[in-house]
C-alpha cells in the first residue's frame, strides 16, 4: 500500500518548507533511513529520511520549490502501483475557494484532522499527537524516530526527537504497547495536534485511523507549489549537514548533563550505537570541556558571503531563518518605543583583573564573560530593567537569565544563560563557548534559547566602537558592547594612555524610564571599572 509523505513541520513557526535538493528520483528504490531530500525551514536545511521501504512513485514538490506543511511531498509504494487516487486527491482542491478557505483558517485546519482521525479508534489504541513544545509552536518536525513500527514501547521510552523553530527535543511515550503507525516520517513535519504516532495492542488494524487527515493535508500542495516555483537555487547547501550533528542521548543523561553544565557534544557515549547514558555523564571529566569548547561566542560566522560580479546584479532568496528574523525584529522595532543610552567605561582595572584570573591554571575567561557577569549582578539592583511588558501589566522576572547574541551563517540566535547572576566566571565562559559552538550546527535545544530576561550583543571583536541593537522581545532592554580602544584619557588632571569601552543600552520606554536605565548603566560601570566590587 502506497504511503503519502507530507511536508514535515521542522520548527514551531514553520508554515512551509522548501526542497533544497532531492536525493532520490521517481522510480528509485527506497529503504528506511535513506535520505529522500534536503528540506529548508525557517531555521536551517535538514536531511529528510524515509521511514518506509518501497519505490518512489511520485514527487509532489519540485527541487528549489516550496510547499505548505502537511502538503504532499512524495508518495512511496510498490513498483507499478496505481496512485492516481492519491495524486488526484491532492490536486482537486487547488482551485478557487477551497484554497482561500484553507489559508484563511489555518487553526481550524490544523485541529480538524486530529478530530477526524480519532473517529473510529479501535479499543486499546492510543493516538499520539504532535506536541506543542513552545508557546509559538504551530508545527513540529520529526528529526529522528527512536522506535520503528512494530517495536514494543513502554511508558518513558524515547519515541522521537522533535524539532521546532528553536531546537530539538526528546519526546517520550506516555503509554505502553506496540508502535502501530508513524504519522510523520523522519525528517517530515506536521501541525501541532495532528497524528504523530499510534500505539496499541500488537496486530491491531489502524489503517483507517488518520486517513481523512492525509486527504486534508494534500489539498494545499498544488497552489503552494505554484506560488513558490521560482524560489532560491543556491541558499540550501550551506547547512545541509546540520542534522547529522545531533547527539544521541538518553533522557536521564540529558537532564544530568543540563544540571551539571556538561557539553554533550564532547561526551563519548558508551550505550547502543554510541548513545550517551547516565554513567557517561557521571564519569565525564570537566577538564575536557575547555579544549572541546574553544570557539569564542562572537566569532561565529557572519552572514553568508556573496560573490561580487562586475556589472551583474544577483539575488539571494531569503531563507526561512532570515524571514523569521526579519519578522520578529520588525515587530520589536515597531511595537516597542526604543530609546538609547550610551556610556564610556574605563577598562584598565578590568584588564588587570582578567590577567590575574587567567593566570590561574585551567582558567581562561574573556572580557565578554566579565561583562555578562557584571550585567547580571547589576540587574539584581535594578529589577525594573529585568522586566517585560505584557499589555495591561509589567512582569518583573524572578530569575536573571541573560541571552547572548550569537551570529550564525543564516542569521542570529540568542542562547540563554539561566540564573546568570549565580554563575561564576568559569561557568559563564564554558557555557557561552559551548552554546556558541552548538549554535553553528543547530545543536541548541529549545529550552536553551527561551526564557531570557535581558540580552547582550557584542561586536567589539570586529573593531566596532559603538552601535545600537534592537530589543529581543519580550525583554525590555539589550546591551550593545563595543571594542576596547586604547586612547588618551584624563586621569587625576593628567593626560595618560587608557583603555576605554563604549556601551549602549536600548530600552523599551514602556517599561524602563530614562532615569532607571541611566542608574543601571551607572551600576554596571562601577562593577566594570572596579571588578572587586563584584565580590561584595
Catalytic residues: 509, 513
Stated as kind and residue range, the H or E segment containing 330 is helix 320-335
Secondary structure class of 437 (helix, strand, coil)? helix
Distance CA(244)–CA(263), nearest Å, equals 17
Distance CA(203)–CA(181), nearest Å, equals 11
Q: Which residue has the cell 490544523?
A: 110
Distance CA(156)–CA(158), nearest Å, equals 6
Q: How many CB atoms lie within 10 A of CB 84?
A: 8
Q: For the CA atoms of the chain, what is the radius of gyration?
A: 26
Distance CA(319)–CA(338), nearest Å, equals 28
- Give the closest residue to 337 by CA, choosing from 507, 87, 161: 507
Torsion of CA 105, 111, 113, 114, to 10 degrees: 180
- Give the closest residue to 505 by CA, choosing from 339, 386, 375: 339
Q: How many CB atoms lie within 10 A of CB 331?
A: 12
Q: For residue 136, what is its C-alpha cell?
A: 509559538
Task: Quote the strand ranges of 399-462, DSSP E.
Answer: 402-404, 406-408, 411-413, 416-417, 454-458
- Give the closest residue to 191 by CA, choosing from 14, 436, 363: 14
Distance CA(243)–CA(55), nearest Å, equals 24
Give yes or no for a contact between 445 and 466, defined as CB atoms under 8 angstroms apart. no
Q: For residue 347, what is its C-alpha cell?
A: 577598562
Distance CA(359)–CA(364), nearest Å, equals 8
- Give the closest residue to 114 by CA, choosing from 192, 168, 174: 192
Give yes or no for a contact between 124 and 220, defined as CB atoms under 8 angstroms apart. no
Stated as kind and residue range, the H or E segment containing 345 is strand 338-346
Amino acid at each position: 500500500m502506497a504511503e503519502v509523505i507530507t511536508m514535515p513541520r521542522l520548527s514551531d513557526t514553520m508554515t512551509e518548507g522548501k526542497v533544497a535538493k532531492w536525493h532520490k528520483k521517481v522510480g528509485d528504490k527506497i529503504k528506511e533511513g535513506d535520505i529522500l531530500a534536503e528540506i529548508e525551514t525557517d531555521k536551517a536545511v535538514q536531511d529528510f529520511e524515509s521511514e518506509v521501504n518501497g519505490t518512489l512513485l511520485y514527487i509532489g514538490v519540485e527541487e528549489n520549490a516550496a510547499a505548505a506543511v502537511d502538503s504532499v511531498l512524495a508518495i512511496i509504494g510498490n513498483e507499478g502501483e496505481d496512485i492516481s487516487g492519491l495524486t488526484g486527491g491532492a490536486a482537486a482542491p487547488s482551485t478557487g475557494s477551497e484554497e482561500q478557505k484553507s489559508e484563511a483558517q489555518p487553526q481550524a485546519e490544523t485541529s480538524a484532522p486530529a478530530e477526524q482521525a480519532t473517529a473510529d479508534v479501535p479499543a486499546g489504541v492510543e493516538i499520539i499527537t504532535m506536541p506543542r513544545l513552545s508557546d509559538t509552536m504551530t508545527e513540529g518536525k520529526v528529526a529522528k524516530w527512536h522506535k520503528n513500527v512494530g517495536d514494543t514501547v513502554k511508558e518513558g521510552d524515547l519515541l522521537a526527537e522533535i524539532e521546532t523553530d528553536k531546537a530539538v527535543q526528546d519526546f517520550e511515550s506516555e503509554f505502553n504497547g506496540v508502535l502501530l503507525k508513524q504519522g510523520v516520517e523522519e525528517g517530515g513535519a506536521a501541525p501541532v495536534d495532528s497524528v504523530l504516532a499510534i500505539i496499541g495492542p500488537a496486530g491491531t488494524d489502524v489503517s483507517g485511523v488518520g486517513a481523512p487527515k492525509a486527504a486534508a493535508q494534500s489539498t494545499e500542495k498544488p497552489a503552494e507549489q505554484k506560488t513558490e516555483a521560482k524560489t532560491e537555487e543556491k541558499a540550501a547547501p550551506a547547512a545541509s549537514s546540520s542534522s547529522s550533528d545531533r547527539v544521541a542521548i538518553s533522557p536521564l543523561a540529558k537532564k544530568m548533563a543540563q544540571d551539571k553544565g556538561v557539553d554533550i557534544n564532547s561526551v563519548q557515549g558508551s550505550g547502543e550505537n554510541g548513545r550517551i547514558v547516565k554513567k557517561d555523564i557521571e564519569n565525564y571529566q570537566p577538564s575536557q570541556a575547555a579544549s572541546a569548547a574553544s570557539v569564542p561566542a562572537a566569532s561565529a560566522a557572519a552572514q553568508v558571503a556573496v560573490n561580487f560580479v562586475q556589472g551583474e546584479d544577483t539575488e539571494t532568496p531569503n531563507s526561512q531563518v532570515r524571514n523569521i528574523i526579519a519578522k520578529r525584529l520588525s515587530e520589536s522595532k515597531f511595537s516597542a518605543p526604543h530609546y538609547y543610552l550610551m556610556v564610556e567605561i574605563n577598562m584598565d582595572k578590568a584588564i588587570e583583573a582578567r590577567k590575574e584570573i587567567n593566570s590561574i591554571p585551567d582558567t581562561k575567561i574573556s572580557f565578554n564573560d566579565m561583562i555578562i557577569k557584571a550585567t547580571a549582578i547589576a540587574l539584581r539592583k535594578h529589577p525594573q530593567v529585568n522586566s517585560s511588558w505584557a499589555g495591561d501589566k509589567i512582569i518583573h522576572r524572578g530569575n536573571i537569565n541573560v541571552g547572548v547574541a550569537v551570529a550564525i551563517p543564516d542569521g542570529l540566535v540568542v542562547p540563554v544563560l539561566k540564573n546568570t547572576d549565580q554563575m561564576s566566571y568559569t561557568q559563564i565562559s564554558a557555557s557561552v563557548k559551548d552554546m556558541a559552538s552548538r549554535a553553528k550546527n543547530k545543536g541548541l535545544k529549545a529550552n536553551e534559547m527561551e526564557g531570557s530576561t535581558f540580552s547582550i550583543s557584542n561586536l567589539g571583536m570586529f573593531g566596532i566602537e559603538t552601535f545600537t541593537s534592537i530589543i529581543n522581545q519580550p525583554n525590555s532592554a539589550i546591551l550593545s558592547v563595543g571594542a576596547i580602544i586604547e586612547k588618551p584619557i584624563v586621569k587625576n588632571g593628567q593626560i595618560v594612555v587608557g583603555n576605554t569601552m563604549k556601551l549602549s543600552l536600548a530600552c523599551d520606554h514602556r517599561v524602563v524610564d530614562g532615569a532607571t536605565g541611566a542608574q543601571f548603566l551607572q551600576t554596571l560601570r562601577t562593577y566594570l571599572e572596579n571588578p572587586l566590587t563584584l565580590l561584595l
